Amino acid sequence: MTTFKDKLPPISQLGPFIALVAACIVFGLTTDNFFSGANFALILQQVMVVGVIAIGQTLVILTAGIDLSCGMVMALGSIVMTKFAVDLGMPAPLAILCGIAVTAGFGLINGLLVTRIKLPPFIVTLGTMNIAFAITQLYSSAQTVSGVPPLMTWLGGTFDIGHTPISFGTILMIALYLGCWFWLRETASGRHVYAVGNNPEATRLVGIPTDRVLLGVYVLAGLFYGIASLLLVARTEVGDPNAGQTENLDAITAVVLGGTSLFGGRGVVLGSLVGAIVVGVLRNGLTLMGVSSVYQVLITGILVIIAVTVDQLSRKGAR
Amino acid sequence: MKRLSTLSIAAAIATFGTAAIAADQPVIGLITKTETNPFFVKMKEGAQAEAKKLGAKLMTASGKKDGDTGAQITAIENMVTAGAKTILITSSGDAIIPAVKKAQAKGVQVIALDSPFDGADALFATDNYKAGILIGQYAKAATAGKPAKIAMLDLFPGHPVGAQRHNGFMSGFGLKANDAKSNELSSTAETVCAADTDGNQAKGQTAMENCLQKDPGINIVYTINEPAAAGAYNALKKAGKEKDVLIVSVDGGCEGVANVGKGVIAATSQQYPLKMAAMGVAAGVDYAKGGKKASGYVDTGVTLIAAKAVAGVESKDVKTGTSLCWGNK
């Protein structure tokens, strides 16, 4: 059932902000160039792909599921849209739509397998992750697609606020987060996502079509991966079959750092944005400090454990 | 019990398999890091062509990604069972060594291609340190007179090939650097920034963006491979600095060589996967026919490809590089 618990900010939701502020203070004190509008704008631009994937991943995790296929599906989407445009000469908007249709199609397949055949999401998405990877490699012959039309890279462009270049993709990411946050918080269908994650049986008994909610969540997640495909192409200006290898775990990391419970039903989507930014800040700050990237991996690992521990303890406390 | 029976079945297959095939033609196994990287695709093509020419039977297998030693170990075991007398392997890591030893104990010749590991009968590979030296010398000559501010875009920590290219570059540039055996990345006052790329374009771009943030005056960029170089170029272009910065790289894939032609990369050290594979297959046939194992390290060569030659550093032009490149032209 929907509860008011997840409307109050418990420590699991303040945690990511604390981590972010702490990291910023440390890097601000130890490096010269960390605190600048341009650097923060850069970090946002660097996290926009994982950030948008993390929206879809948040939705799936809110239903107590998990999506391992997100990174590979995103890579496939980017290959489909770039190859359709470059090799088939399709107009850019149509090629983009085809790419997003493919990622949403994968979402639909994930959703159908989870709702109709009742397979565990972990296994379903493990399978589709491999399928998406293989199709990407076969279709692209493992070669980068270059010469993509300007319309596909438009979101990677920037405009200046003062002297700070903000990318259009960053604006889109923030808009998607705000839209999704509003939907989850203020609409009936959004609240149903929480309900399904909290207690699917009870939700079904009060007459909410749990399967339809779940199916919708997976398709929607696929749509977000498609938008992430476009952002990746916009950022790198190529279709890269080797992309997406680590994005599934990066996105899960962002969601967990953002305070969304892996057990479903609890969390705020905006937290995932903060979680993604924490990882981006670590990578940027440690490069500025001249520290090996292994420390980034180490710190991220510790933060994930802390985040899950806080979630687990607060869950026990609530019972 | 179950394990025992599996083992005995495997042994039975091994016995029959060897007997059946030995009369026929030599069986050579090729195990690559991945099935999809164009470098290994080319290697496999080279091995197939040579095997056909010499009348050998080629079995192939690979890991799912770089570092997937589990899949490589399984492949070694399967190939030994299937009667391979020579196994060619681009090692994903030292975890394969015990499986290699077991295979050798059964009389199988194991040759390392591209990536060295302890205990291989022979190694046919690019000299990655030398590949680094060539682009280091080129960068030094091309930017002569300017104070060097270098960004090092590496692979990931602890990878020998990454360390050899990195340290070779620094040595070629005339900076203090560790030798070819070291796995530590050297750093001097001239190397103002270092970041990992995983050899991937998007991460290469992120790494370069962060390096520019650290020091906007960077004028030389070393990159572990050409996708990372393409990412670095993208970051420089967005910052309006692509004209002022020299990018060098290693690999010589067709996309990379094309990028040398476009001025994205100033120079790249080209390696030859096809040659590695062909030499490996020939050594396998020699062993099957004459019982003579290959040994030692054979350098399969590396050539500097540059659009603009510089004085004092030997290089070949883009046309030559394209004719020898691997991947889709």
Kindly tell me the burial class for residue B305, based on how many C-beta atoms sit within 10 Å of its own C-beta (0-12, 13-18, 19 or more).
buried
The ranges assigned to domains in chain B are 9-126+272-294, 128-270+304-324
| A contact test, residue of B208, B210, B328 with most A CBs within 10 A | B210
Rounded to two decimals, what is the model's pTM? 0.86
Listing from the earlier edge strand, what are the strands of the sheet with B122-125?
B57-62, B27-32, B86-89, B109-113, B122-125, B296-299
Instruction: Answer whether B9-126+272-294 and B128-270+304-324 agree in fold.
Output: yes
With 90 as the cut, is the pLDDT of residue A260 above it? yes
Question: Which of A38, A42, A236 minimises the CB distance to B231?
Answer: A236
Q: How confident is the model at residue A11 (pLDDT cuts 50, 70, 90)?
A: low
- pLDDT for the residue B158: 79
Which conformational region is residue B93 in: left (phi greater than 0), alpha (psi within -120 to 50 degrees), or beta? Answer: left
Taking alpha carbons only, the member of B283, B236, B255 closest to residue A242 is B255
Return the CATH architecture of domain B128-270+304-324.
3-Layer(aba) Sandwich (3.40)
Span A11-20, average pLDDT: 80
pLDDT beneath 70, residues of chain B: 1-24
The per-residue pLDDT for B1 is 40
pLDDT digits (tens, 9 = 90+) for B116-168: 899 999 999 999 999 999 999 999 999 998 999 999 999 988 788 899 999 99
Mean pLDDT taken over chain A: 92
pLDDT of residue A3: 56
Q: What is the pLDDT of residue B13?
A: 47
* ipTM of predicted complex: 0.85
Per-residue confidence (pLDDT) for residue A9, from 0 to 100: 60
Angle of helix B201-214 relative to helix B226-238, nearest 10 degrees? 50
Give the tens place of pLDDT for each residue, B24-68: 689 999 999 988 888 898 899 999 999 999 999 999 999 888 788
Out of B202, B210, B231, whose CB is closest to A284?
A: B210
pLDDT of residue B19: 44
pLDDT value for B59: 94
Q: Which residues contact A75 (CB under 8 A, 6 or more apart)?
A: A132, A133, A136, A229, A232, A240, A241, A242, A243, A244, A245, A247
Report chain B residues whose CB lies below 8 A from the CB of A142: 36-38, 41
The string of pLDDT tens digits covering residues A125-143 is 999 999 999 999 999 988 8
Between A8 and A82, name the one with better pLDDT. A82
| Pick from A137, A241, A293: CB nearest B195 | A293
Range B9-126+272-294: architecture per CATH: 3-Layer(aba) Sandwich (3.40)
Confidence of residue A237 (pLDDT cuts 50, 70, 90): very high
- Residues of chain A in contact with residue B327, where contact means CB-CB under 8 angstroms, are 143
Please list every residue in chain A whose beta carbon sits closer than 8 Å to the beta carbon of residue B65: 245
Strands B57-62 and B27-32: parallel
Percent of chain A with pLDDT over 90: 77
Give the pLDDT score at B326.
87
Say if B206 is an interface residue toward chain A (CB within 8 Å). yes
Which tens digits make up the pLDDT trace of A127-186?
999 999 999 999 998 888 999 999 999 999 989 988 888 999 999 999 999 999 999 999
DSSP assignment of chain A, as one string?
---SGGGS--HHHHHHHHHHHHHHHHHHHH-SSSSSHHHHHHHHHHHHHHHHHHHHHHHHHHTT---SSHHHHHHHHHHHHHHHHHTS---HHHHHHHHHHHHHHHHHHHHHHHHTS---HHHHHHHHHHHHHHHHHHHHTT--B----HHHHGGG-EEEETTEEEEHHHHHHHHHHHHHHHHHHHSHHHHHHHHHHH-HHHHHHTT--HHHHHHHHHHHHHHHHHHHHHHHHHHHSSB-TTTTTTHHHHHHHHHHHTT--TTSS---HHHHHHHHHHHHHHHHHHHHHT--HHHHHHHHHHHHHHHHHHHHHHHHHH-
Residue A237, token pair as written in the block = 């200006």
